[in-house]
Structure 1
Amino acid sequence: MKAIVAPVKNVIATQNAFDSLYNRSYGVPGIGLIHGPTGFGKTTSVAYLFNQVNGVLVRARANDTSSSLLGRIVSELGAQPMSRNARMVDYIIEQMSMYERPLFIDEADYLMGDIKLLESIRDLYDATEVPVVLIGMDQIAKRISSRKQFFNRISEWVEFRPADLDDVIVMADCMLAGGIRAEAELLEQLRQAACGEMRRITIGLAQIEKLARANDLDVVTLEHWGDQPFHGLRRQVA
């Protein structure tokens, strides 16, 4: 399998949303929210994007305080965490502004229960106006709507949706190595078995490639695959 991020619809929507944040008109707020169920590829898409734009990516945690979260951001910016929150905020603002480094926060659901955490992130955005992107689960959009001061600063919303057949075909074309191809009917069966989850589709594609290599197949069909599962033990083609 090739180590590549396939340009499926969710990935393209993420890129387009960030481009809109980065190139927004004067007065348009610059915070984005990416949300959806686990397994749909949010973290992978954002990791790919933040590497392209020299961003800063941190993951919120259940027991975070303002100090611990700010400290991890400082660490990602290449410095040692400081004893006072105000000093860390000043340092982060300076680095984000000077180098135009957007901030990405994964598992942002953990911010919703602590107004101090949200206010810390809002302070960073207000002082720099460099894009900030939050990544969370499917309920975060509803939860964040009650935080009006933060909610009003979000101009880009991306909801990650289950992969359709076109997405799975794109993934297979990009990720299967050695010229191996998979028949569309087999890919549709994989999509249905995975309920459109990118993570499970990736695992299934790896198993399809494994079967192809074990049996010297250039094209894997539904007949080759049979009724075996895409996860768990499999048999080889006789």
Structure 2
Amino acid sequence: MIGIAQTANLALCDMAIERAQSRTESLPGMICLYGPSGTGKSITASFVAHRRQAYYVQAKSVWTKKFFLQTILQEMGINTVKSLPEMLEMAAKELALSNRPLIIDEMDHLVDKGAVELVRDLYESSQAVILLIGEERLPDKLKKYERFHGRVLDWVPARLVDLDDARKLSSFYAASIEVADDLLETLVAQAAGSIRRLVVNLERIQEVALSCGWTIADQTNWASRPLYTGQAPKRRLL
């Protein structure tokens, strides 16, 4: 799991929840973690949810408001076929009593479905810490909802993968070999900020290294072998 590697985004996410949980009563309690696809936001949030004993839901594009609340209640271990207002009150009550955070991944889907005010209702009724996770444009999408936007304590941009992250990730995804910094720097450049791309390349490098009998993979012995960039190869037509 990427989260185990203690990447920069894991630390950012964990510290943001800590700040929200220790805030004074006059401060808002919602946090927004946003950034491009591939930066490890979801895996980071899943790991932090386990560490902080948070309720965690990952929204889908087809979710309705009712299904959203049903999923939260299922995560809480509450079975219900109640009405929408009743489910909202039950979820809010559990958040308030348990003092556990709620993490909503893929928040963009709920914005697109017009469920923003429902999330605000959950917050207002519980005053619980709620972490919203979404794509790069999520803060811009939420600007039009003034009452919601003003209740966000922290806007946390996800960090693009860097050399320090690459070193930590290599100990998990290429644990059987040593990957030298010069090759890691190449991987970071090729990844264009994406942890996902970097991890794919680390696994590929380890596979090649083991087959070649290397204990260390560096730029010299990797030479001109191709790396994964996420781009589809161009078709070669005769």
**TM-score normalised according to structure 2 size:** 0.90
Look up the SS of the partner of 2:33 in the other structure. Answer: strand
Specify the alignment match of 1:230 in structure 2.
227
What is the RMSD computed on CA atoms of the aligned residues?
Answer: 1.8
Look up the SS of the partner of 1:5 in the other structure. Answer: helix
Specify the alignment match of 1:184 in structure 2.
181
1:1-238 equivalences under 5 Å are: 5-115=4-114, 117-178=115-176, 180-231=177-228
1:211-233 per-position Cα deviation (integer Å, ceiling 9, x unaligned) = 2222232211112211112239x
- Return the letter of the residue paired with 2:141: R
1:15-74 per-position Cα deviation (integer Å, ceiling 9, x unaligned) = 111111111122110000010110011001100000111111112222322111101111
Going from structure 1 to structure 2, the CA distance change for 1:3 and 1:145 (only over 3 Å counts) comes to closer
The answer to whether the 8 A contact 2:2-2:169 is kept is: no
- Return the letter of the residue paired with 2:77: G
- Return the letter of the residue paired with 2:87: M
The answer to whether the 8 A contact 1:4-1:175 is kept is: no
Specify the alignment match of 1:236 in structure 2.
none
How far has the Cα of 1:87 moved from its partner? 1.9
Matched positions, count: 229
Look up the SS of the partner of 2:165 in the other structure. Answer: helix
1:161-191 per-position Cα deviation (integer Å, ceiling 9, x unaligned) = 321222212222354323x211111011111
1:107-140 per-position Cα deviation (integer Å, ceiling 9, x unaligned) = 101222344x112111111121110011110011
Work out the CA distance in 2 between the residues paired with 1:207 and 1:71: 41
Look up the SS of the partner of 2:104 in the other structure. Answer: strand
The answer for unaligned runs of 5 or more in structure 2 is 230-238
The answer to whether the 8 A contact 1:30-1:154 is kept is: yes
- Return the letter of the residue paired with 1:158: V
The answer to whether the 8 A contact 1:60-1:110 is kept is: yes
Going from structure 1 to structure 2, the CA distance change for 1:3 and 1:110 (only over 3 Å counts) comes to closer
- Return the letter of the residue paired with 2:111: M
The answer to whether the 8 A contact 1:6-1:175 is kept is: no
Look up the SS of the partner of 1:112 in the other structure. Answer: helix
How far has the Cα of 1:82 moved from its partner? 1.7
The answer for unaligned runs of 5 or more in structure 1 is 233-238
